[in-house]
Chains A and B, each alone.
Chain A
Amino acid sequence: MTKGILIYAHNNRSVDYALMSIVAGGLAKKQLQVPASLVTDQSTIDWMHESKIYDKAQEVFENIIIVPRPPANNYRRLHDGVDHSTVTFMNGNRYSAWKQTPYDRTLMIDADFFIFSKTLGEYWDVDNDILIGESINDIYDNNRLGYCDRYISEVGTKLYWATTVMFTKNSYTKLFFDLVQIILDNYQYFADTYRFDSKQYRNDVAFSIAKHILDGFENIDTLSLPPVLTLLDKDILHDVDQDKLTVLVSHKLDANFCAATLKNTDIHIMNKQSIVRNISKLMELV
């Protein structure tokens, strides 16, 4: 059975996801000792050539799979500490992972999820067709999270975090990913049914609903990938020194920060601008 990492990266005008995906892919390869593939679009590839990172991408990824650029009709507010901006967000093609992956068993991760440990490697041979990140785990304290970080809405089902998804390519998981596409195509209908805010398409929500439906419309406590340790976007990745990350964490999500360090721990860094500011040091780790 072939195993590998799959990462999606579609750049927008504000965030260089391709650059981040090289770091994410390189770290994942290094820690988990499996190949990695990138799913991207021609416009992002053109930018990679222009910014001279394409060679590095070819070094990290065994396959660079070009797909049509997803529609840029999704917006989100991205924080960088206390600053913020509203950016387009092209995340509406994750359902194609089943078709695009060259591997029998795939670990699909977000471009801002950096693997610094071998933990996820323990899940390759687990006898579950699909495993999704169980929850978000705030680096500071889960009290900073809201109800809608744990459930898809005030009255909805449990929210899984599609930052990390591991799946085996088989007929069941095809059904799962087809269902994710149906949820994407009929997002308003599912928003009305599950009572969540449809303004922004979220893979976490679509994957959670697909799981809920295929579990027989039940919240079944099945095995999941470990909670995704997360540095929120109002926190800041301050520095990278070898494999030690220094982060600034705002306990009240305001302008008052305390510092902390991370080492040998997988981390989801939501503050993308702070990743880009430290990209050259992160690249050294790859």
Chain B
Amino acid sequence: MQEQLQQALDFANYKQTFSIQKKVLKEKNAAKLTFGFQGGLFHINQTLLTFVEILILKGRTTAVVLLDSNQNPILIPNLEEFRDEIFSRYFEATNEYFEADQSLKKSRSVEKLLAQ
């Protein structure tokens, strides 16, 4: 009984550390997906990526006005350059997030979590 209780307490301790590490990873990813451009601030997400790609497919590539994350209108002089930048940032951030998340999941003890 005592041993089982100790195991449960150890797991609780592991889980707390895991939760903090996971939260910090999420925060880091969100921060990396913040993009300041032309006086506006964009949070790069699937909606923005898709919308920008659709505009380009529709032939709207220069002097396009987008609403930033604060709903302010921002003039984007060259939408293709903007698209390349946000795609690049998105994949850099999410790939890094994925790698870190995988390492976290494979760490089955507090010591291993802290070694990340």
A interface with B by C-beta (< 8 Å): 117, 119, 121-127, 137, 139-141, 222-223, 226, 229, 246, 249, 251, 258-262, 264-266
Contacts and interface: CB of A to CB of B under 8 A. Distances in A.
B108 to A, nearest CB: 15
B27 A125 contact: no
Interface residues of B, number: 27
B59 interface: no
A144 B32 CA distance: 26
Contact of A137 (B27, B40, B113): B27
A140 B18 CA distance: 11
A261 B36 CA distance: 28
B32 A119 contact: yes
B23 to A, nearest CB: 7
B111 to A, nearest CB: 9
B36 A125 contact: yes
A140 B20 contact: yes
Contacts of B39: 125-127
A124 B16 contact: no
B88 interface: no
B17 A265 contact: no
Contacts of B70: 222-223
B31 to A, nearest CB: 4
Given A126-B41, A261-B114, A261-B116, 8 more contacts: A119-B31, A122-B34, A139-B20, A141-B23, A223-B69, A246-B114, A258-B17, A260-B114
